[in-house]
Structure 1
Amino acid sequence: MTYAQPSHCDGADTVPLMPAWVTAGRPETSEDVAFLSGAALAHLHFAVSQDDVPQALLRARLALSAAEACVVLSGRPERASDLRDALHLIRPGDHPGPAGAIYHQWWTAVTRPISVPVLKRAVPDGLETHVPVWLAAVQGGPVRQAAAVLEAVLADHPTEEASALIMADAALARGVGWSHLMPILAMGLKRRELRLAGADLTTACHSAVTRSSTDALRIAADLTRRAAYLRAVTPKLRAKGASAAVDIFLTRDAAAPAALTSLMSDRAARRLCDRLVDLGAVRELTGRDTFRLYGV
């Protein structure tokens, strides 16, 4: 998923992209694959730890990509725009549908620090009691731990790809030492690779980490530039509650004007969104005249 770079973000290029030697050529052995994934994870860890990187926004954007990948795995037709609608425009008490439920799982998993209670809320009803057992399947380094958890979940529930990938990414994040889950494996693993086991699955996870870490860095660099510009134009906003509204855009992949009405009136929220679009600080994401969503 790529986005145009604002032309007014000079000086915000603080996220170093993946070194070319990590992605150049094809590794010939499983040891090569493991070495490159370790290098990719180390670089990703360093790069996204920079102070200017909007961490919550990055996780939210990656969660959307991970959810879309899981929806594709399930054979459903919904894509990112449909998932955004299902999460951000749903009325209280309504069910988001199967695809929207997958996105809600990822959203739940990334918004709070990793813990057993959070992961229990991120899996469908009836699976929450298995979470501590699945997490106990870990052994070895971070990627091997993630592969072991992935295999354990799919052995119990072969059709629960989203839950399995959430648990695997949680194991990967804990192994690396991240406080929050960062969707990585879900964006890189192919359907056929989810049916592998043992060393073959671990090797597939190493390859997925290298691919997805590179993509995550590109997204992080883009969001960091965009977030820097949004922060820069915030003093130009005169609406009451504008700074708090900006904080919402810096932590969510998308937001409807209604999400800002706890800070200002509905009319003021719509005017603020339009003002931010005019400034080039946020984008209208739907292309619609009504039920609009906005995001960095």
Structure 2
Amino acid sequence: MTFALSDPINDPDTLPRMFAWVTSARAETLEDVSFFSGAALNHLHLLLRREEVPKALLRDRLALRAAEACVAFSGRLERAGELRDAVHFLRPGDLPGPGGEAFVGWRRAVEGSVSVKALSRALPTFETCQIATWLDAGNGAPVTRAAVVLEAVLTEAPRAEVPTLILADAALAQALGWDHIVPLLAAGLKRTDLRKRGHDLRLACHRAVTASAVEIVRLAADLAWRSAHLEAVAPRLRARGASGAVKMFLTRDAVAPSALPLPDRAARRLCDRLVDLGAVRELTGRDTFRLYGV
């Protein structure tokens, strides 16, 4: 059975919104914060099952947000635009730099399944057996498992913020039965939280999960609407290779015209056409070396 974009099951406007009480109440005890994080995760879990949410695109954009947070934890000042440039304009043989490496690591982590094998590809500096040991360190409820893994990795590798947070989010995803990592912890934690342990770290993780889940729900609704609009205008595109280009925009945070399956000039024209149609945005504000995204 197929549904038109206007049908309620595929209409982005029908996506459920997070209950206001999840963020309006002030929680102090571990019992309270775990209740609110559980409610937020339950809402996010239901949202991620909706067909109209572009899950690969959402994860890729969240990977950028997580990388930006990790770069800030390490004391660097690179913002999202600089991280995009470091990855999307990388030439063969070039190194992306610390910020770019963080973004590459997060992108690989969210692309693959939640498995030791997939995580070993995203974290090549760690042994597969070590990754498996860390993932098995946590037990109990999802956020508790993530906090235990976070503490275990931080204890052994205190400066490895990116692998630590990827593994903690992987533990969370495994506990929730998700097929892919959804970056939650990095953007919600503060730099000082990474020095906490035990009870205090669990409190920080619950709060981080709640705050991030609320933002992800908002972002998912926005991307669902934008993706639906792109799919609606796609039949009006006449360029050969346009369908492949649309698929790339629906799964990637940002795309350079040179990466599209069209000749350079045709790719630039297609991007300009999509901007005119309001289906994608130019993300850099530059006249050259541009990037586009939903």
**Superposition TM-score tier, normalisation by shorter sequence:** over 0.9
Q: Which residue of 2 aligns with 1:71?
A: 71
RMSD (Å), alpha carbons:
1.1
3-state SS, counterpart of residue 33 of structure 1: helix
Residue 15 of structure 1 contacts residue 48 of structure 1 at CA under 8 Å; is this kept in 2? no
- Paired-residue identity, %: 61
Residue 33 of structure 2 contacts residue 207 of structure 2 at CA under 8 Å; is this kept in 1? yes
3-state SS, counterpart of residue 75 of structure 2: coil
* Shift, 1:151, TM fit: 0.5
3-state SS, counterpart of residue 61 of structure 1: helix
Q: Which residue of 2 aligns with 1:268?
A: 266
* Larger RCO: 1 or 2 (CA < 8 Å, sep 6+): 1
For these two proteins, the number of residue pairs brought into alignment is 284
Q: Which residue of 1 aligns with 2:231?
A: 231
User: Which stretch has the larger CA shift, 136-145 or 114-123?
Assistant: 114-123
* Aligned match for 1:285, one of 270, 283, 286: 283
Aligned ranges 1:206-221 → 2 under 5 Å: 206-221=206-221
1:197 aligns with 2:194: no
Q: TM-score if structure 1 supplies the norm length?
A: 0.93
Q: Which residue of 1 aligns with 2:5?
A: none
Alpha-carbon distance in structure 2 between the residues aligned to 1:89 and 1:192: 33
User: Which stretch has the larger CA shift, 66-75 or 109-118?
Assistant: 109-118
Residue 189 of structure 2 contacts residue 208 of structure 2 at CA under 8 Å; is this kept in 1? yes
Residue 120 of structure 2 contacts residue 126 of structure 2 at CA under 8 Å; is this kept in 1? no
Aligned ranges 1:37-186 → 2 under 5 Å: 37-126=37-126, 128-186=128-186
AA partner of residue 164 (structure 2): A
Measured against aligned partners, the alpha-carbon deviations of 1:59-103 in whole angstroms (never above 9, x if no partner) come to: 011111000000111100111000001111101111000110001
* Shift, 1:169, TM fit: 0.3
AA partner of residue 130 (structure 2): H
4+ runs deviating over 3 angstroms: 126-129
Alpha-carbon distance in structure 2 between the residues aligned to 1:113 and 1:36: 27
Q: Identify if the C-alpha distance between structure 1 residues 64 and 269 changes in structure 2 by more than 3 Å, giving closer, same or farther.
A: same
Alpha-carbon distance in structure 1 between the residues aligned to 2:126 and 2:158: 15
* Shift, 1:124, TM fit: 4.8
Q: Which residue of 1 aligns with 2:292?
A: 294
Gaps of 5+ in 1: 1-10
* Shift, 1:25, TM fit: 2.0
Residue 15 of structure 1 contacts residue 217 of structure 1 at CA under 8 Å; is this kept in 2? no
Alpha-carbon distance in structure 2 between the residues aligned to 1:99 and 1:127: 22
3-state SS, counterpart of residue 56 of structure 1: helix
Measured against aligned partners, the alpha-carbon deviations of 1:103-159 in whole angstroms (never above 9, x if no partner) come to: 111001001211112211222524554211111102101101100110011000101
Q: Which residue of 2 aligns with 1:4?
A: none
Alpha-carbon distance in structure 2 between the residues aligned to 1:251 and 1:37: 28
Residue 233 of structure 2 contacts residue 279 of structure 2 at CA under 8 Å; is this kept in 1? yes
Aligned ranges 1:10-21 → 2 under 5 Å: 12-21=12-21
Alpha-carbon distance in structure 2 between the residues aligned to 1:86 and 1:14: 37
AA partner of residue 250 (structure 1): L
Gaps of 5+ in 2: 1-10
AA partner of residue 277 (structure 2): L
* Shift, 1:48, TM fit: 2.1
Alpha-carbon distance in structure 2 between the residues aligned to 1:24 and 1:147: 24
Alpha-carbon distance in structure 1 between the residues aligned to 2:190 and 2:146: 15
AA partner of residue 259 (structure 2): A
3-state SS, counterpart of residue 14 of structure 2: coil
Alpha-carbon distance in structure 2 between the residues aligned to 1:191 and 1:268: 45
Alpha-carbon distance in structure 1 between the residues aligned to 2:127 and 2:159: 12
Q: Which residue of 2 aligns with 1:32?
A: 32
AA partner of residue 246 (structure 2): V
* Shift, 1:194, TM fit: 1.1
Alpha-carbon distance in structure 2 between the residues aligned to 1:278 and 1:255: 17
* Shift, 1:199, TM fit: 2.0
